[in-house]
Amino acid sequence: MGRGALCHLLFLPREHLALENANATIAAMSFQAEHSYRFDAQGKLDADDWLLIPRAHLRSDVQLDAAFADELVRRYFEMVKRTSPFINILRDMQGVRYLTPLNKTAMLFAEPERIVDARRVETSWRIAGGFMLAHNVSYGGRFYLGAEWQSHDVLRIYSTIRRYPPRLMNWFGIARASAIYPRTQGWLHRRIGDLYLRAAAARVTQKAD
């Protein structure tokens, strides 16, 4: 089995993943997640996954603060774990590491940064290593999780990748990898993004107990 196939199998998703409860599913399905993935001429990926919620649909106690930023991070990596049960996720103040059953690092996020203000909360990490990152690159890109107010009182919840060169570029070259990525690693990334955004939407639109 080639390394590309092995990478895909390690992150094979479970089907029919449930959100926290039936009410959460109903609330989350009311809003449509959107996606945009683009490769540049150097084979680096920009990926955007987002969901828009008008203020009228939000709970009255929703605030963009450090606690909400923490919750977005927690929910995202919960979805990674649910879709990738064979991956062990290690999180600390220094970053996040995805470990395979053979104790190999699939992905390493380092140098976390946090923005919290009246309009936006955002946590980001430098993509620093792992076998899913291309070899011999000076910069592996950056990964962002956050929420921000847009015009007309619309809350945008998002996950974003900037200038990430996947290992597929080493294996297949830019042209072929750009075609293969949406059917492998990109498919799973989108699946995780959907689950994360729907879970986050359910959290901010459900009535408080």
pLDDT at 30: 63
> No. of H helices and E strands in the chain?
5, 8
Domain membership flag for residue 26: no
Domain encompassing residue 159 = 3-11+34-205
Domain membership flag for residue 64: yes
Which residues of the chain register pLDDT less than 50? 1-29, 209
Domain membership flag for residue 28: no
144-187 residue pLDDT tens = 999 999 987 899 999 999 999 998 887 888 788 888 888 888 89
Domain membership flag for residue 22: no
The type of residue at 147 is A
Q: The domain spanning residue 148 has which CATH number?
A: 3.30.530
182-202 residue pLDDT tens = 888 889 899 999 999 999 999
What's the first-to-final CA gap in the chain, in angstroms? 50
Domain membership flag for residue 18: no
The type of residue at 61 is D
Element housing 47 (H / E): strand 45-54
Q: 84-93, long-range: CB within 8 Å, 24+ apart, which pairs?
A: 84/10, 84/11, 84/12, 84/13, 84/188, 85/14, 86/10, 87/10, 87/11
Quickly tell me which residue has 């490769």 as its tokens.
Answer: 39
pTM over 0.85: no
Domain membership flag for residue 23: no
Strand partners, 45: 39, 164
Determine the Cα–Cα distance for residues 114 and 94; give it in Å rounded to an integer. 13
pLDDT at 6: 37
Number of domains composing the chain? 1
- Cβ neighbors of 104 (< 8 A, separation 6 or more) are 131
Domain membership flag for residue 57: yes
Domain membership flag for residue 193: yes
